[in-house]
Amino acid sequence: MEILGATLRICVDDLETAVPFYERLAGGTALRFERGGVSVAAVGCFLLMSGPPTELEVLRKVAATIAVKDVDETHAVLTDLGAHIVAGPIASPAGRNLIAMHPDGMVYEYVDRRA
């Protein structure tokens, strides 16, 4: 399993106010999309999310998004290591992903960029 990097997940009250700050901080333009009633802006290593409190409550339980080369291989490694696969693999706007709870109770999203 090859880990390519990690994205910090940040829930914000006002995406329109937060995006310019993070664009300037990261030196890039945000990629925006909607997912399940949540507005998302990805800029640099930051994933900004804004939406209904009930949706954000669930998203706050995921500590980080980890980019991997292959979600299927990651699924196999995580399973062998005793992680609980909560969801996926499924297609998402950012690539295929899965949500896993590690044996220590931490929850992470793993995503690849395969079509």
For residue 91, count other CB atoms closer than 10 A to its CB.
11
pLDDT computed for residue 114 by the predictor: 66
Q: For residue 90, what are its two tokens?
A: 């499924």
Q: Could you give the percent of the chain with pLDDT greater than 90?
A: 82
Distance from the Cα of residue 18 to its chain's centroid = 18
Query: What average pLDDT does range 56-79 have in this prediction?
Result: 93
| pLDDT(115) > 70 | no
Q: Which two tokens stand for residue 76?
A: 């196999």
- State yes or no: cis peptide before 89, omega within 30 of 0: yes
